[in-house]
Amino acid sequence: MKIAAIAAMTTALLAAPAFAEGDAAEGEKEFKKCKSCHMIVDGDNTIVKGGKTGPNLFGLPGRVAGVGDFRYGNSLAAVGETGLAWDEAEFVAYVADPKAWLKEKLDDSSAKSKMSFKLRDADDAANIWAYLVSVSPES
């Protein structure tokens, strides 16, 4: 019995990066603020047809920051070299002020972000995160 409880707790903790506290349905509505630059595409399956200025956000939960087939800015790529993977807290903090987040993560006042948009409402950001989790593969 003890082993089963430990196994269940371990499984829940390992699944934590995919857990989202926001409302995915609200996040889907809020994502319209993002789709001018970002798409959500899984191979041939287009979930949200959006812009190509920003990276494809399919599979973002758990993905290492600044890594992939998109040309990320040097600062975000440097954060990725630390191994930081996107979770809800990092996503919400990043979208609130990408440049400030990069400066803090890198401890570098000259850090820059290609993303100029700021989503200061943490509830909206959490809802968008929940939506991204809902359309991404399970990690």
Q: What is the value of pTM for the model shown?
A: 0.83
CATH label of the domain that carries residue 61 = 1.10.760.10
Both tokens assigned to 85: 């993977």
Q: What is the pLDDT of residue 21?
A: 83
pLDDT in tens, the chain (139 residues): 444 434 334 333 344 444 568 999 999 999 999 999 999 999 999 999 999 999 999 999 999 999 999 999 999 999 999 999 999 999 999 999 999 999 999 999 999 999 999 999 999 999 999 999 999 997 5
Both tokens assigned to 104: 């803090």
Q: Give the chain's length.
A: 139
> Among candidates 94, 83, 84, 82, which has minimal Cα distance to 125?
94
Q: Is the dihedral of CA 121, 71, 79, 129 positive or negative?
A: positive
Question: What is the span of the domain harbouring residue 28?
Answer: 2-135
Q: What is the pLDDT of residue 30?
A: 97
Read off φ and ψ for residue 47, nearest 5 degrees: -85, -45
**Distances 41 to 38, 46, 98 between C-alpha atoms, Å:** 10, 4, 23
Q: How many independent structural domains does the chain possess?
A: 1
Chain centre distance of CA 129: 6
